[in-house]
Amino acid sequence: MARARTLPPLHAVTDARVLARADFLERARALLAAGGPRLALHVRGPGLPARRLLALADALRPEAEAHGAWLLVHDRLDVAQAVEADGVQLPQTGLPAAVARRLLGPHRIIGVSVHSRAEADASLPEADFWFVGPIYATASHPGHPGAGPALLAAMPPVRPRVAIGGVTPERVAELRRAGAVGVAVLRGLWDAPEPALAATVYLARWSDADGDNDSGAPQR
């Protein structure tokens, strides 16, 4: 049962630019090997044809399983079901969590991206965890200064919270102290010369961080 597993502390999120790289699969496989069960790979490609997304997710599924890592598909429940991914990550523009649960069944993981407590509340009880952000300024949200770590504390303490938006290794400790059970990273991993090496840095900062927010199991 996938939902009984502990939420990884590092979430590697892609975008269409990352997925278009000729060496994407090579870099993703190295990342999965480096992160193992402490890594969740989110295959996200807004605007990407379904067949291309399916091919990439399908190629990575056995790699994720071999290393004990999570594989989640962003928004596309059909692709997630086709490759038997661990679950999905739902944006606010996607299907409601309740609808996704009916389609996916009781054992798949459902993450929901939220920007306010109202959005978090609306995803209950079906959401297993939340992406909370953007915490800091990020290129994906131009003109938005970020809500700061206080947004994590504003969420109801009934689901694990993963911080997203402008997360650098230097900010990991602050986010963990603020209540995050993990961090989601795009550019900090994929724009690095070696994403696998960058992942080890993030994970080391997480392990070294103060705080006792280690429970990533869904609280239901």
pLDDT at 138: 81
Q: Round the CA-based radius of gyration of the chain to a whole number and report it.
A: 16
Taken in order 184, 188, 189, 190, is the CA torsion positive or negative?
positive
CATH of domain 10-208: 3.20.20.70
Confidence label for 68 from pLDDT (cuts 50, 70 and 90): very high
Domain ranges of the chain: 10-208
pTM of the shown model:
0.93
Taking only the tens place, the pLDDT of each residue in 177-211 is: 999 999 999 999 999 999 999 999 999 999 998 65
198-219: burial string, b at 16+ Cβ within 10 Å, e else: bbeebbebbeebeeebeebebe
84 pLDDT higher than 50 = yes
Taking only the tens place, the pLDDT of each residue in 91-115 is: 999 999 999 999 999 999 999 999 9
C-alpha pair distances (Å), 190 with each of 123, 128, 136 = 29, 26, 18
Taking only the tens place, the pLDDT of each residue in 38-60 is: 999 999 999 999 999 999 999 99
> Within a 10 A sphere around the Cβ of 71, how many other Cβ atoms?
24
Confidence label for 220 from pLDDT (cuts 50, 70 and 90): very low
pLDDT at 50: 95
In one letter, which amino acid is 4? A
Distance CA 120, CA 172 (A): 22
Distance CA 12, CA 218 (A): 19
Q: How far apart are the first and last CA of the chain?
A: 15
Residues 74, 47: contact at Cβ < 8 Å? Answer: no
Taking only the tens place, the pLDDT of each residue in 128-151 is: 999 999 999 887 766 777 899 999
